[in-house]
A = this chain, B = another copy of it.
Amino acid sequence: MTEKQEKILQAALELFARDGFSSTSTSKVAAHAGVSEGLIFRHFKNKEGLLEAIIKEGEVKARTLFADIVLESDPKEVIRKTIDMVLNISSNRADLEFWKLQYKIKWETEKYGEHKMEPLHLALTSAFTKLGYVSPELEASLLLIINDGLATRIALQKGFKCETLTSFLKEKYQV
């Protein structure tokens, strides 16, 4: 990938995250990236192609993020790392912007990437099973739903302090 190609992606990421996909014009992306507008279409074919490139990047990042959790053998660690994941993301500026965009895209395109979550869901189910929970599969679903709720707050509720809730959760699950 060339230097300007990366600049376009970075500019699109920033503007899409701030203003939304359909509120961001290709001319704005080009101006913000410091390139000509035509270059966007040369490299990404359409505006949609630009979005897809960003989504793909998100899928890769998600996989590497989950890998560390899924490979964990200690069930308590699986749960703890899942809870901490959202905390880690929220504490890093660049990561926060990136994942906020991924959620924004979900709401704008109305496609929920449930398949992306499946390995994590399986790992959590097995963890809750090992710990003797009565409904491990539902417990896993619930924890992921809590993470979705937390993500919503982190992204939209300015000044939301995530840490108090994550440590409360870790206490609850005794991890």
Contact = CB atoms under 8 A, between A and B. Distances in A.
A147 interface: yes
A146 B145 CA distance: 6
B138 A165 contact: yes
A41 interface: no
A165 B144 CA distance: 12
Contact of A22 (B20, B141, B145): B20
A48 interface: no
Given A20-B108, A111-B156, A138 B150 contact: no
A107 B165 contact: no
Given A22-B23, A107-B104, A165-B138, A112 B148 contact: no
Contacts of A144: 149
A71 B100 CA distance: 36
A164 interface: yes
A148 B151 CA distance: 9
Contacts of A130: none
Contact of A107 (B138, B149, B153, B156): B156
A108 B148 CA distance: 17
A141 B165 contact: yes
A156 B170 CA distance: 27
A158 B111 CA distance: 9
Given A146-B142, A148-B148, A156 B106 contact: yes
Nearest to A106: B156
Lowest 5 CB-CB distances: which A-B pairs, in order?
A: A149-B149, A145-B149, A148-B149, A112-B156, A107-B107
